[in-house]
Amino acid sequence: MGFFFNFESDKSTKCGNPKILCQEIEKLSNTPKVFMENCNLGTKILYYTKHYVLGLPYHRSTEGIVSCHKCLNETYNDEIVRRILMQTKTNYIIVQKQSKFKKNNLTKMINQNNYPTFLSPVKLPESCKNIIIMKVNLQNNL
């Protein structure tokens, strides 16, 4: 599921226009926030915004990569997902829109608009239509 983006280009990709997406992400908060994602946009977000990203493909923290995988890709377990999101102080989750899933995981739930009550969708422009951003609303993450 890896993608290469030429940020300087305005060309849209499978995940939309990365330049516009990073501009939208930058607007989400005046202070740096923590993003969890599984669509390989982390490097762009990390470089072009003030925000933090968990689990980049070359991340030195094994815990960050494992946390993203358990939270977004493993079979959904509410207790585990909540604990990971609170421990990592994740403020936002970013997933790619898709229709095929191997497991009943959080990525699938978000894509099917059947997400937990502690998540709320972030409105994005049409140019970012292949990405979903969810705000995490847990006590520890506000």
- Going by C-alpha positions, the residue among 120, 34, 121 that lies closest to residue 84 is 34
Do the domain assignments include residue 69?
A: yes
- CATH number for position 123: 3.40.50
Report pLDDT for 59. Answer: 61
Residue 120 forms beta bridges with which residues? 135
Using DSSP's 3-state secondary structure scheme, residue 103 falls into coil
* Average pLDDT taken over every residue of the chain: 84
Any domain includes 115: yes
**88 within domain boundaries:** yes
Tally of domains within the chain:
1
| pTM of the predicted model as reported, rounded to 2 decimal places | 0.85
Residue 10 lies inside a defined structural domain of this protein = no
Determine the structural domain holding residue 83 and report its residue range. 18-141
Nearest residue to 80 (alpha-carbon basis) of 98, 93, 65, 68 = 68
Assigned domain for 36 exists: yes
Cβ distance 62 to 102 under 8 Å?
no
Residue 102 in this model has a pLDDT that exceeds 90: no
The pLDDT of residue 42: 83
Alpha carbon distance 54, 125 (integer Å): 24
Average pLDDT over every residue of 80-97 = 94
Residue at 83 is within a domain: yes
